[in-house]
Structure 1
Amino acid sequence: MAANYWESTQRRYWQFTKDELAQLRENLEEEEQSLVQMFPLPQWRHLSIYFNQQLHRLAKRLNCRQQAVATAQLYIKRFYCKVEIRRTNPYLVLTTALYLACKMEECPQHIRIVVQEARTMYSDLLTVDTSRLGECEFFLISEMSSHLIVHQPYRTLTQLQTEFALSQEEISLALSVINDHYMTDLPLHYPPHIVALTAILLSLVLRPNSVSATPAAGMAAAASVLAQAQGRQQQFGMGGGGGSGIASGQTTPGAGPPPTTGGGGGMSEKEKQQGERVGKVQRFAQFLAESNVDIEGMVDCTQELISFYECHEQYNDKMTREQINRFIKARALDRP
């Protein structure tokens, strides 16, 4: 087991560029051209949204931890990088992925209970018993080359929440962003700390109760912060005095106090909160500037998340479910 992400199988074998991932999926479809033409499916984002919903339904029945659900989502993504989805019963795959993830995250579920709950949820789409679930478990492990350790962004968020004085509201929003990123391809593209830092940034610039908290406004604000940090980072790099940031374990932002709002001692509560938010954003930008964090990666993560939220608005649950169920029934994948 690699305690360090940089030495892990996740970094060595399961991080792809966008072109590499697209090529993997294209190769799978070329190998099964007749199936692909016969059974069209929604885009991968919509499939991921659907799988996420089904996993959470099953996890709720089993009382699973969120980290196990996140690990299961990454297992599903890895597995479907190697196996064409139309060759499988996705309900069996996601049930098995959650069962395996619970083992790896040290919150194991008894196989008979998992089978019982899966039968209840998918009575007309999945015929499953303990032997079939066990067989699928070995299939998943084999296709993932036994690379089962997953490094999550949650740990980085926990480590940095005190350093950036994140409020409970900001922590909750950052956690929500991290949970949502598992419905994108970001876990297959970037290290977990890049995702966590992007989630923190979005939690600082997106205010859930603000009328200006739109994807476009959030993207503009985040882009401004990252551009500022990147400019400073380049200055530090040219001067040879840049800090090593996360790579060396340094997490102290080291920025000055937040700017005043200028009106003497009679600031309203709203003005104080705004001043605190501005100060947090400035400290965060300073932290990025003094570290060797991949800011271009954070820019891409931000764009992908904003794009995902816009895509989510076009998601059609009924159509996605029907297209999946159609090939399961037509290919008799609901039978033993």
Structure 2
Amino acid sequence: MAQNFWKSSHAQQWIFDKTEIWKQRGEDMKVYNEEEYNRLNIFWANFITAVATEYAHSHANGGYKLRQQMIATAIVYFKRFYLRQSFRDICPFLVASTALFLACKVEETSIPTSASSFLKHTSTVLQKRWAVPFEPNPAKHGGIYDPEFLLVEILDCCLVVHHPFRPMAEFLDDFRQFSLSASGTNTPVKDTDAIEAQCQKVANDSLRCDVGLIFPPHIVALSSIIVAMELMGRGEELEGWLVEVDVDIEKVIDCVDQIYKMYTLWKSFDEKEEVKKLMAKLPKPNSPITHQQQQPSTSNNYF
């Protein structure tokens, strides 16, 4: 599937430049400034991951496991949805739960549940991690007729997401082969398991910024490797290999820079305190939305 990326809906419909992304978020940017929205990007990814983890723990004895790729797909669905909709249109907690459920089906994760099963863990997660109260009642939060149908419609049925995980594995294998040939001693790269784990972590963390909406997966993959190796204090080991890699280096530099900026923001982000303030500014949802029409607002608030 990776070799078909450039013919995919992901490549043709869901890659944007930064200016276009912020323009599409125009309605919500009347409420949040750019830094606040970037903090929200970190929060939403952390929140979706936490809900998925809470769900998995609640079914620990049932043998159900939620793979990271499924969580990554759900985060991408959520981010894409709010490029075309405002937080005012529908409660993001409802969208997050629906995105998790849809991602489970697309990524073929076996689950005996529904979107509401994820939604009921929302209250637990918000209260436990962020001390934010929430009543998991879809009808109160701009409830919709068939939320899954609406999510699929807004995504234009573009449900296959190309993640950086596969090209990253290919890059790492190529790096190992290059290192062996360059050394002339058949000495393998040291601590390959630790390198792979760190690269995987950075790729997962990159979901907390917009690089997946701006760059193709192989650029995010290579950037994740560079950041991971630099964080391990081993960036110089990549220098000879990077010269041989056929990529748009300007895009890689831009992507690396955005990942570092996300880490800097995340490090200064006191989630437990700041999320409350960000949630207080969250636009109130309109009245129930169906896939046919949106009606005047009658609901009160999220909490």
Render the CA deviation track for 1:108-164: whole Å, top value 9, x for unaligned: 4311643543465467332149xx687221121111111111000001122232222
> 1:56 Cα deviation (Å)?
1.6
Alpha-carbon distance change, 40 to 62 in structure 1, aligned in 2, over 3 angstroms: same
2:243 paired with 1:286? yes
Letter in 1 for 2:43: Y
Bigger shift: 171-180 or 158-167? 158-167
SS of the aligned residue for 1:43 comes to: helix
SS of the aligned residue for 1:323 comes to: helix
Q: How does 1:1-336 map to 2 (within 5 A)?
A: 4-26=4-26, 28-29=27-28, 36=31, 43-63=36-56, 64-109=66-111, 110-111=113-114, 113-118=117-122, 120-121=124-125, 124-128=134-138, 135-165=146-176, 167-207=192-232, 278=236, 280-288=237-245, 291=246, 293-317=247-271, 318-325=273-280, 327=282, 332-334=300-302
What are structure 1's unaligned runs of at least 5 residues? 208-212, 222-277
Render the CA deviation track for 1:2-27: whole Å, top value 9, x for unaligned: 9610001011111101111122122x
Letter in 1 for 2:92: P
Q: What is the TM-score when the length of structure 1 is the normalising length?
A: 0.68
Letter in 2 for 1:304: Q
CA contact (8 A) 2:41 2:208 kept: yes
> 1:316 Cα deviation (Å)?
2.9
CA contact (8 A) 1:156 1:193 kept: yes
Higher relative contact order (CA 8 A, sep 6+): 2
Render the CA deviation track for 1:52-81: whole Å, top value 9, x for unaligned: 221121111233111111111111111100
Aligned residues: 255
Q: For the pair shown, which has the larger CA radius of gyration, 1 or 2? A: 1
Provide the C-alpha distance between the structure 2 equivalents of 1:54 and 1:13, rounded to a whole number of angstroms.
26
Alpha-carbon distance change, 113 to 89 in structure 1, aligned in 2, over 3 angstroms: closer
CA contact (8 A) 1:92 1:133 kept: no
In percent, how many aligned pairs have the same letter? 27
CA contact (8 A) 2:87 2:282 kept: no
> 1:281 Cα deviation (Å)?
1.5
Letter in 1 for 2:242: A
Bigger shift: 308-317 or 6-15? 308-317
> 1:329 Cα deviation (Å)?
7.2
SS of the aligned residue for 2:208 comes to: coil
Render the CA deviation track for 1:22-58: whole Å, top value 9, x for unaligned: 22122x348xx6xx3xx88962221111112211211
Provide the C-alpha distance between the structure 1 equivalents of 2:76 and 2:120, rounded to a whole number of angstroms.
24
Letter in 1 for 2:256: T
CA contact (8 A) 1:50 1:321 kept: no
SS of the aligned residue for 1:87 comes to: coil
CA contact (8 A) 2:164 2:203 kept: yes
